Amino acid sequence: MAATARPDGYTLSLLPIEVFRLPHMQRVSWDPLKDFTYIIGTATGIFGLAVRSDSSVKTLDDLIKYAKINPGKVRHGVSGRGSPAHLVKEDLGLKAGVRFLHVQGPAVEAVQALIDRRIDVICSSAAFWAPHVDAKTFRLLVTFGETRSRWNAPTARESGFEVFSYQPLGIVGPRGMDSKVTKLLHDAFNRTLDDPEYDALLKRLDMVDWYRSSEDYAEWAIDQFEFQKKLIERTIGLRRQ
């Protein structure tokens, strides 16, 4: 809807990361680089990998070593082919030289599956594992962002693997919006990013600030589109249909 609406600033969309991935996996009716006016980057979710707290696996290195000794036996919950959890674990597996056994199902079901020992590891956004990490029933092994999260688990990069996955959100409108309207909207949304209530909301959702100006957000979109293309081709070999 945001791609085809009138560019008057009254129809906006919260843009998820999937917008940059789907065009490389299937035919879509919009182009993420041509059909949107990028207004502001706002926040991002934290993506990580966790095991049960009573697992003998204490670190990512432990998991990799176990997976090498037991190829295809480490059960990993994924929400579907091409999902963030699927791609990041495929990427990690390729770079670490190991194979994981993917058990498909919604992330919320993967949480229960890990509790019930039907899978060995969960890889998802913090929304699913954070309460269990806080309750110390899950152990967070690694996060896939550029910096450490509040749980202070090492990043994949710190662990020796250039593997990244995060879920930034931003606000866009249809292409062709007047630059004055774009600036007006950017400045209005930007003021809310300093609101203590907004900061408290991010903490409750286990998200972190991800401010990008209109110009920076548009440049990031170009880089992200190419990054997702290479990630998909490297991990599951899909090409645009």
- DSSP string of 112-126, one letter each residue: HHHHTTSSSEEEEEH
Q: What is the CATH topology of the domain spanning 13-45+166-235? A: D-Maltodextrin-Binding Protein; domain 2 (3.40.190)
Domain ranges within the chain, ordered by starting residue: 13-45+166-235, 47-143
The rounded percent of the chain whose pLDDT value lies above 90 is: 69
| Chain position carrying tokens 């990993």 | 76
On the question of a common fold for 13-45+166-235 and 47-143, the answer reads yes
pLDDT at 239 over 50: no
Mean pLDDT over 52-56 rounds to 96
Q: What is the pLDDT of residues 134-191, one digit of tens each?
A: 999 999 999 998 889 999 999 999 999 999 888 899 999 999 999 999 999 999 999 9
- Stronger pLDDT, 55 or 85, i.e. the higher one: 55
Average pLDDT over residues 115-128: 92
**pLDDT in the model for residue 108:** 80
Q: How many CB atoms lie within 10 A of CB 216?
A: 13
* Owner of token pair 């903490």: 203
pLDDT of residue 82: 74
The CATH code of the domain at 47-143 is 3.40.190.10
Whether pLDDT at 241 is above 60: no
> Could you tell me which residue, 85 or 21, shows the higher pLDDT?
21
Residue-wise pLDDT for 60-78, tens only, equals 999 999 999 998 899 988 7
On the question of pLDDT at 240 being above 50, the answer is no
- So what's the pLDDT on residue 87? 85
Contact between 156 and 142 under an 8 Å Cβ cutoff? The reply is yes
Tell me the per-residue pLDDT of 211-237, one tens digit each, with 9 for 90 and over. 999 999 999 999 999 999 998 888 876
3-state secondary structure (DSSP) of residue 208: strand
